[in-house]
Amino acid sequence: MSLAKRIIPCLDVKDGETVKGTNFVNLRSAGDPVELGKAYSEQGADELVFLDITASFEGRKTFTEMVTRVAETLNIPFTVGGGINELKDVERLLYAGADKVSINSAAIRRPELIDEIATRFGSQVCVVAIDARLDDETGNSQSSNSQSSNSQMSWHCYLKGGRERTERQLFEWAHEAQERGAGEILFTSMNHDGTKNGYANDALRYLADHLSIPIIASGGAGCKEHFRDVFTEGHADAALAASVFHFGEIPVPELKQYLKNEGINVRL
């Protein structure tokens, strides 16, 4: 029996409230993160991810206080990310009650941070999040359907919440992150984020088949079939989503029962 596939609601937190956008822009409120987290835990979500998307100094204080409240409320693992640049940031969030931390821009700028976290706290604590977009040679975004394996090297990694393109390529950067000690890769396709057209299954399958650590899929969930496909076609270990959960479009218990009926190993 394969390991159970995980369903992970993601809560982007801005100024103490949960928000959601499309292609990383046009944010709208989705409610109180602590209350949402509690509801997801009760519904049977396997894990949660909380991302501080405005990690200014004041924002960090608000976010850390929220992490403490979440830890007092939840009985499932949760990951936190946003504004983590050094070990003291990791210590602060783990001390507040988080189970794992997610690092993104800081890891690309200084890859040694992955080694430091893995050495100090263990690989299981370190989730490397990668925001990547399938671009043509001029830097223009490709459509959600342009995912052929021949386009692998067009997946560029982005920093600062998707605002700054780098020359790092998705697949080579994910491999380096694994070699440095990352415990999981959280891959968000910027082409698919918020579009509800399905996950980037070709790229996910390439990651899953070439790496030995778990791959968390993010970006594109719109219906229950998309979750089925990301596990069967994308070979993902976990599927992360936001708006379909936040706005009640797909209840977690209903999704898990559907997946179980489709022959996918999930915890009910």
Do the bridges between strand 78-81 and strand 48-52 make them parallel or antiparallel, or are there none, so unpaired? parallel
Catalytic residues: 12, 131
What is the DSSP-derived secondary structure letter of residue 4? Answer: P
| Separation CA 177–CA 261 (nearest Å) | 35
Cβ neighbours of 77 (radius 10 Å):
15
Backbone angles phi, psi at 255, to 5 degrees: -65, -45
* Residue 147, token pair as written in the block: 């995912």
Do the bridges between strand 6-14 and strand 48-52 make them parallel or antiparallel, or are there none, so unpaired? parallel
Q: Sign of torsion, CA 206 50 55 248? A: positive
The residues, any chain, with a CB within 8 Å of residue 83's CB and separated by 6 or more, are 52, 55, 56, 59, 60, 63, 89
